[in-house]
Amino acid sequence: MDGVALVIGTMAPDLAYALNGSRLRVWAHGFPGVVTFCIPATLIGSWIVARILAPVVADHLPDLGRFHLPDWRGLATHRFVLWKTVVWAELGALSRWAR
């Protein structure tokens, strides 16, 4: 299971709203957008979280007792397996239709 891709994949369809008003208009809640926008957006977002944010941000988070926020640093050891990341990204993006 690729939890990073799953979580970011659930947000990917709504990331297309950030492009509203630009010449790059994407409808990511329908079939073509779920494949052409959500998967690349999730791959990029997952990589940014695991490789750039996790090693740095964890040092600045407080330790909240039993909820250890600095343990978020563990995401920096995440290893991407392309086919798993794509599958979990798509499942996350399609989770909106499960309601």
Which residue segment(s) compose the domain that 87 sits in? 3-98
Q: pTM for the whole thing?
A: 0.82
Which helix (H) or strand (E) segment holds residue 46: the answer is: helix 39-47
| Interatomic CA distance for residues 61 and 85, integer angstroms | 27
More confident residue, 58 or 86: 86
| Interatomic CA distance for residues 33 and 14, integer angstroms | 11
Q: What is the pLDDT of residues 72-94, one digit of tens each?
A: 777 778 788 889 999 999 899 88
Tally of structural domains, the chain = 1
pLDDT range class, residue 8, cuts 50, 70, 90: very high
pLDDT range class, residue 5, cuts 50, 70, 90: very high
